[in-house]
Structure 1
Amino acid sequence: MKKLLAMFAALSLLVFAVGCNSESSESAGGSAEEGTESVAVVLKTLSSQYWKFVEAGAKDAGKDLGVNVTVIGPSSESQIMEQVNMVEDSLNQDPDALIVAPTQPSTVIPALGSAEQQSIPVLFVDTDADWEAKTAFIGTENFEAGKAAGELLASKLNKGDKVALIAGALGNPAMDARIEGAKEALEKAGMVVAAEQPADSDKTKAMSVMENILQNDPDIKGVYSANDDMALGAFRAAKGKGLDIPIIGTDGTIEAVEAVIAGKLTGTVAQSPYDMGYQGVENAIKAINGEEIEKRIDSGIDIITAENAQEKLDFLKGIVGE
C-alpha cells in the first residue's frame, strides 16, 4: 500500500511539473517565433529597385521592433492576379497584420474580405484603395508628385513645346494620378501634351513606346514618365534618334539618380519607398496593439536634379549596403 501511495505521489508531482512548464511556456508566449507578431507584406513586385527599397524598410522595421516580417511580390507589376493570389495566401497564414501595395485596387479588394472577418489590420502603402475597412494608407500623394515633375519639366521648355507622357499599366491609380498631376502642370505652363501612352512600368516596353511616339511626332521636346524605369527606356529611344531632350522620371531609384548625375535624365521626383516600408510595419504594430493611427500618412517627395543627386545617391547606397 505504501509503495502504491509513493508511486501515486511521484506521478502527481510529475504531472504538476509538466503542467507548470506548459503554463510557464504559454504565459511567456511560447517560443520566440510563436510569441512574436507577424506582418505579411505584399508588394506590386520585387523585380525593381524601387520595391527593393520598400522591402528593405519593412524588414529593417521588423528587426528593430522584433516582428516577423514576410515580404513577397509578383514577378512584374502587370501580374495582377498573381498579386491577388499572394494576398489570399498571406491571409491564409493568419498574420497579425497585412500590408499591401495594390497594383489594381478594385481587383485586390475582394481578396481582403477574410481580413475584415478576422479583424486583421490592413494597411496600404504606395497606392491607396477605396475600401472602408482599411486601417491606413502610407505613401506619396501621387498627384502632387506628378505635378512637381510637370513643373520641373516645364521649367526646361518654352511655351507651346510638345511633350510626351509615359504612363504605367492601365488601371494603376498611382501611375494615373502622377500622369494627371504632370498634365495639369504642363498644360498650365503652356505646354502641349502631344502623346500619352502606357508602358506597364517596363524599361524595354517604354523604349518601344517612345520610339513609336517619336516616329509619329519627331517634334517632341520633353518627356515625363510615371516611373524611372520607363524614363530610362524613353532616354534610350531619344538617344537612338539623336535627340537630347529633358526627361523626368519618378521614384528616385539608384539607377535613375546615377542617370541624373550622368546627364541622361534631367531629374526624378523621388518618393520615400524605404520610409513607406518602415512606417508600414511600424504602424501595423500600433494597429495590432490597439493604438489609434492616422488614416492617411504622407511619406513626402524629394525633387532630384543634378544639384542634389550625389547626396541622394549616397543615401540610397547606404540603405542597400553598397
Structure 2
Amino acid sequence: MKKKSIISFIGILLFAILIGFLSKSFAEEKPKVVFVLKDLNSQYWEIVKAGAEKGFRDFALDGRVVAPIIGTAEEQSELLQGILKENPDVLVVSPTYAPIIMPILDEFVEQHIPVLLLDTDNSWEHKIAYIGTDNFDLGRKAGSLLASQLQPGDDVAVIGGDVKSPVSGERIEGARLSLNAVQINIATEKVNLANEATPIKDATKEILEEHPNIKGIIATNDVIALQVVKVLEEHGLSIPVTGADGIIEMIELIEDEKIPGTVAQNPFDMGYLSAETALKVSRSERVESTIDSGVDIIIKGNAKQRLNFYKSLLN
C-alpha cells in the first residue's frame, strides 16, 4: 500500500509539473501584437482601443495599444522606431502622415514583421491588409441620408478636412455621387480645415453668409459636425447635419432631436477585427486584403442602443 501511495504521489507530481510546463509554454507562445494609433485623446480612438483590447482577451494575444501624446507624425515615427526594436509578431498601425510613416514601416517589412493598416488606408505595397471603413461608401450613405430629408433642387454644403487625404477625399466623392443622383446641389465646399474650433466655426459662418438658403450640411468627421451644429444653434437655425464617426455627442444630438440622423463608422469593430486579423497573420493564415468594418446609419430609433454601448465601453 505504501509503495502504491508513493507511486500515486509521484504520478500526481509529474502531472502537475507537466500541466505547469504546458501552461507556461502556451503563455509564452501568445503572439505579440502592437497597435499604434493616431492618438488616444479623442473618444473615437478610445473606442478603437476598447475593441482591440477585447480582441486581445478573446484571441489570447499579448497585445498593447500605444499612440503619440500630441498626435504628430514625427512623434508616431519615434514610437514606431522603438517598437521595431521590440520585434513584435504583428504591427497594426494607423498612419498619421504617409510620407513620414511609410519609410519606417518599410523597416518592419525588412525585419519580416507583417504590418496591418487600421482606419487609414494607403496604397503601400507591403501592407498585409487594411481594416477599416470604406470611406467612399460612408460618403455615399451620408449623401443619401441627407438627401432623404430634402427636396430636388435644394442647396447643401460640404465642410471637411484635407480633400487630398484618402479619408476626407473619398467621403466627399461618395457624398457628391449620392447628392447629384437626386439633383441636390452642392452650393459650396469648405475643405482643408484643421480639426480646431475657430477655423470650423469661421467656415460655417461663411457658408451661412454666402449661401443663406442652404438646407443641409455634410461634415467629413464628427469634430467638424459638432462645431457646425453649434454655429447653427447660435444663428437659430435647425437644418440637418451629417457627420461620420458616430461619437457620443453626435448620438446625443439625435436622441435630443436636434439633428435627424447621421452616419457612423464602427471604431470598436475596427479594433476588434484588427486583433482577430493579427492572430490569423501570426499563424500564417490567409486574410483578405481589405476588411470592411462597416458603416451604420444612426437615427432616433437606434441611437439609444449605440449610446448605451459606447458609454459602457468608456466608463
- Range of TM-score over shorter length: 0.7 to 0.9
1:67 aligns with 2:61: yes
- Relative to structure 1, the CA distance from residue 193 to residue 74 in structure 2 (aligned partners, 3 Å threshold; closer, same or farther) is farther
- Correspondence for 1:164: 157
Conserved? CA contact 1:146–1:180, under 8 Å? yes
Which of the numbers 238, 244, 260 marks the counterpart of 1:244?
238
- 1:112-191 matches, within 5 Å, as 112-169=105-162, 171-191=164-184
- Relative to structure 1, the CA distance from residue 160 to residue 57 in structure 2 (aligned partners, 3 Å threshold; closer, same or farther) is same
Aligned partners of 1:169 and 1:84: how far apart in 2? 21
- Relative to structure 1, the CA distance from residue 27 to residue 55 in structure 2 (aligned partners, 3 Å threshold; closer, same or farther) is closer
- Correspondence for 2:284: 290
Deviation per CA, 1:180-221, whole angstroms, max 9, x where unpaired? 111111122212212222333445542232123223332222
Tell me how far 1:298 sits from its aligned partner: 1.2
Which of the numbers 83, 94, 105 marks the counterpart of 1:90?
83
Which of the numbers 101, 104, 109 marks the counterpart of 1:108?
101
Which of the numbers 258, 262, 283 marks the counterpart of 1:264?
258
Deviates more, 1:46-55 or 1:308-317: 308-317
Choose 1 or 2 for highest CA Rg. Answer: 1
1:304 aligns with 2:304: no
Conserved? CA contact 1:203–1:232, under 8 Å? no
- Correspondence for 1:36: 30
Gaps of 5+ in 2: 1-19
- Relative to structure 1, the CA distance from residue 293 to residue 129 in structure 2 (aligned partners, 3 Å threshold; closer, same or farther) is same
Conserved? CA contact 2:145–2:262, under 8 Å? no
Which of the numbers 273, 276, 279 marks the counterpart of 2:270?
276
Tell me how far 1:93 sits from its aligned partner: 2.5
TM-score w.r.t. structure 2 length?
A: 0.86
Q: How many residues end up aligned between the 2 structures?
A: 296
- Relative to structure 1, the CA distance from residue 27 to residue 192 in structure 2 (aligned partners, 3 Å threshold; closer, same or farther) is closer
Q: Specify the SS of the correspondent of 2:104.
A: helix
Aligned partners of 2:283 and 2:97: how far apart in 1? 29
Letter in 2 for 1:166: I
Aligned residues: CA RMSD = 2.4
- Relative to structure 1, the CA distance from residue 106 to residue 130 in structure 2 (aligned partners, 3 Å threshold; closer, same or farther) is farther
Q: Specify the SS of the correspondent of 2:82.
A: helix
- Correspondence for 2:9: none
TM-score w.r.t. structure 1 length?
A: 0.84
Tell me how far 1:257 sits from its aligned partner: 0.6
Tell me how far 1:135 sits from its aligned partner: 0.9
- Relative to structure 1, the CA distance from residue 84 to residue 189 in structure 2 (aligned partners, 3 Å threshold; closer, same or farther) is farther
Conserved? CA contact 2:90–2:113, under 8 Å? yes
Letter in 1 for 2:43: Q
- Correspondence for 1:52: 46
Aligned partners of 1:106 and 1:205: how far apart in 2? 25
Identity of aligned residues (%): 40
- 1:186-225 matches, within 5 Å, as 186-198=179-191, 199-225=193-219
Aligned partners of 2:260 and 2:266: how far apart in 1? 19
Deviation per CA, 1:135-168, whole angstroms, max 9, x where unpaired? 1111121101110010110111122222111112
Deviates more, 1:80-89 or 1:238-247: 80-89
Q: Specify the SS of the correspondent of 1:50.
A: helix
Tell me how far 1:256 sits from its aligned partner: 0.9
